[in-house]
Amino acid sequence: MSQPSRIKQLDERTIGHIAAGEVVERPAQVVKELIENSIDADSSRITIEIERGGFDLIRITDDGSGIHEHDLSLSLDRHATSKLSSEEDLAAIGTLGFRGEALASIGMVSKLSISSRPLGTEGRKIVMDNGNKGKIEPAGVAEGTSIEVSHIFANQPARLAFQRRPATETSKIVDVVVSHAISHPEVGFRLVSDEKTILEVPAVDEMEDRLYDVLGRQAGKMIQISEPPGDSDAPGDENWSGWISTPDITRGKGDEIHILINGRPVAAQPFLQSIRRGYRTRLMQGRHPVAVLLLDLPHDEVDVNVHPTKREVRLRNSWRVLERLERSIAYTLESTPTEPESSGGITGITSLAPQAQERRVVEKPAWAQTAQISLTGDKPIDVKQKEKPRPISKSESSQTTITGTEAIAPALSIAERELHRHAGHDTEDIDNTEPLGPIINDLPAMEPLAQFADSYILVQAEEELLLIDQHALHERIRYERLRHDESLWQAQERITPVPLDLDARQVARLEARIDDLTNIGFVIEKKAAGFSITSAPALLCASELEPFMHDILLDMSEDGAPLETIEQRKDHLAFLNSCRGAVKANEKLNLSQMRRLLDDMRRIPNPWACVHGRPTAMRIPLNALDHHFGRHG
Ligand code: ADP
Ligand code: MG
């Protein structure tokens, strides 16, 4: 055996180098630290200049409070900060910085020059060159602080060897500036790279204005999130606000998701899953939305002191916070794709979600091209309203179906396709379903005229002709029925237990959560032969049980993820089941079935979008037809 190596205390310089390795890994990180300092100093304008991706130069100039001349030297020492004075302060940090490490670390690995001039004083400057502090000298600078970093990593060949190309670093720096610009609309930002201004946003009062400045036109398509009614009474003081994109705007990576916790930009990764779940099946596999989401919560419920760069934080009630986010997104999407503007005689009849409008324009058959604008209803044509009521058509008692035409359906997302694959079960017997309750939307009484291509119902709705996608509508109706019919959710004993074929990880999840499953109506028994379901919600037929259980176990795969509240689980089950059993495209309907669907359509809260967020109907105002055929004088 060898002798034990003796322990000795490292010198300050070595300690500094070790710490610097964590805090300043790359130029973008230097930019981040310096911007944070400027924001903490209450600046209202911050200018960031970089050369060659920051490798040659980073200069950040602000008009903030400045550094007292007697503190200039101290600001370069490790663990010297003006933002924290005691251990207790750590529990409630309100500034972006607090560790007092950034300037010290940057000065270890570059030539760092700090010039500062607090209000009503003379400018002073100090330089630190690879760990060697210089003397304080007078400097002719404007009020505020200007910090220059050059020759970064020049003395760290190993670090330098691992750096990215300047262009890559520049784009990372843009990301950093954008995320801070989004979190601080009250500060104006200018980013200049190799003498070209690549981002300039003025200080504004409203977050919306900043989003327009930063995200461009795309900001106009973002929807503001709101929490479901009653959620404000749910336990917890956390609050989510912000904007999400409609499901048609997606990105391959989650890097256009900005999360701000109490105004601090943090890594979005831990939130991606909940955000996607909030979109339900509306997002294609591997796609992410664009989002700016602000979480506000008491300072003592978030620990920012877990990572040297503070990009990661820890939340005391992370699951509760994540579920709240998911609920808000789901609720927002559920309640938005409807009611854009209404242009016809029927209030509330506007058929198309914004994303669908675009799609329809592309897919419109040739005969509709000339009538494009009026048909989509997005630009109402200003035509005189007839005074006399127009005749209302009645359909013949024997139904006319125009057949022989191929139905055109928009492409399905992978998730939808998956659902439709499972949807081979018997179609619900439309005529014999329970009524849905009172009329709750603005739709008028409607009359089916005919079925087109066995897929679309032609409907007279006062002075509008509606083309209804029978599957989409039935799906939405089924969702509401399944969701609210309590009897469907009661546990029903199965005469023959349904065996479950599970792998080791699924077994572990199942065993950990068996009580939660019982709460939503599943009774699962473990026998020598394995697990089997002996009782399950009445809603589910035997052949559906195993795939369902697999879905649920997949949901529980996240470490420590609770099975969501029972309500959410029910939503999910209703959602999955609404497609199964819904009437398909290319399925003949008789008039009484069509009438029944139209009647139910008036009894659901959101008749204009199916559960996947696609439109259920297209409207053609009579006025638009008259206009198209030149019948207006
Ligand atoms: P921290 O931000 O964690 O306090 P830093 O090393 O980043 O640590 O900065 C050290 C100190 O220098 C800060 O606490 C602050 O007092 C001062 N400082 C740094 N940058 C600025 C600036 N742009 N304006 C005013 N003060 C600054
Ligand atoms: Mg700092």
Q: Is the pLDDT of residue 408 over 50?
A: no
- What is the distance in A from the centroid of ligand 1 to the CA of 47? 17
Residue bearing the CA closest to ligand 1, atom 13: 81
- Is-contact 199 181, C-beta < 8 A? yes
- Is-contact 502 530, C-beta < 8 A? yes
Mean pLDDT of 294-303: 91
Q: Is the pLDDT of residue 581 over 50?
A: yes
82 lines ligand 1 (CB under 6 A): yes
- What is the distance in A from the centroid of ligand 1 to the CA of 103? 7
- Is-contact 340 373, C-beta < 8 A? no
Q: Which atom of ligand 1 is nearest to the CA of 36?
A: 2
Query: What predicted TM-score, i.e. pTM, was given to this entire model?
Result: 0.62
Rounded CA gap, 80 and 123, in Å? 21
Rounded CA gap, 231 and 184, in Å? 28
Q: Which residues pair with 60 in a beta bridge?
A: 48, 147
What band does 71 get if pLDDT is binned at 50, 70 and 90? very high
- What is the distance in A from the centroid of ligand 1 to the CA of 37? 5
The string of pLDDT tens digits covering residues 265-274 is 998 888 998 8
43 lines ligand 1 (CB under 6 A): no
Q: Which atom of ligand 1 is nearest to the CA of 144?
A: 24
Looking at residue 286, its pLDDT comes to 67
Nearest CA to 37 among 164, 171, 184, 140? 184
Mean pLDDT of 459-473: 92
Helices (H), 41-187: 102-108, 157-161, 166-183
Rounded CA gap, 117 and 69, in Å? 8
Report, in angstroms and rounded to the nearest whole number, the Rg of the chain calculated over CA atoms: 31
What band does 376 get if pLDDT is binned at 50, 70 and 90? very low
Q: Given ligand 1 and candidates 75, 78, 143, which is best to mutate, with the most ligand atoms within 8 Å of its CB?
A: 75
Neighbours of 586 (CB within 10 A): 14
Q: Is the pLDDT of residue 314 over 70?
A: yes
Give CA torsion, residues 491, 494, 499, 505, to 10 deg. 10
Nearest CA to 191 among 200, 178, 202? 200
The string of pLDDT tens digits covering residues 357-373 is 333 333 432 222 222 22
Stated as kind and residue range, the H or E segment containing 144 is strand 144-150
Length of the chain equals 633
Mean pLDDT of 89-106: 87
In the block, residue with structure tokens 């409807």: 338
Looking at residue 285, its pLDDT comes to 63
Residue bearing the CA closest to ligand 1, atom 12: 75
The string of pLDDT tens digits covering residues 5-36 is 999 999 888 888 888 888 888 999 999 999 99
Q: Which atom of ligand 1 is nearest to the CA of 65?
A: 25
Q: Which residues of 366-396 are buried (b: 16+ CB within 10 A; e: fewer)?
A: eebeebeebbbbbebbeeeeeeeeeeeeebe
% residues pLDDT > 70 (the chain): 81
Rounded CA gap, 241 and 237, in Å? 13
Looking at residue 556, its pLDDT comes to 62
Q: Given ligand 1 and candidates 32, 38, 40, which is best to mutate, with the most ligand atoms within 8 Å of its CB?
A: 40
348: left (phi over 0), alpha (psi -120 to 50) or beta: left
Q: Which atom of ligand 1 is nearest to the CA of 98?
A: 3
Q: Is the pLDDT of residue 348 over 70?
A: no
In the block, residue with structure tokens 């959620």: 231
Looking at residue 586, its pLDDT comes to 87
What band does 142 get if pLDDT is binned at 50, 70 and 90? very high
The mean predicted confidence, pLDDT, of the chain is: 80
- Is-contact 160 25, C-beta < 8 A? no
Looking at residue 392, its pLDDT comes to 60
Q: Is the pLDDT of residue 72 over 60?
A: yes
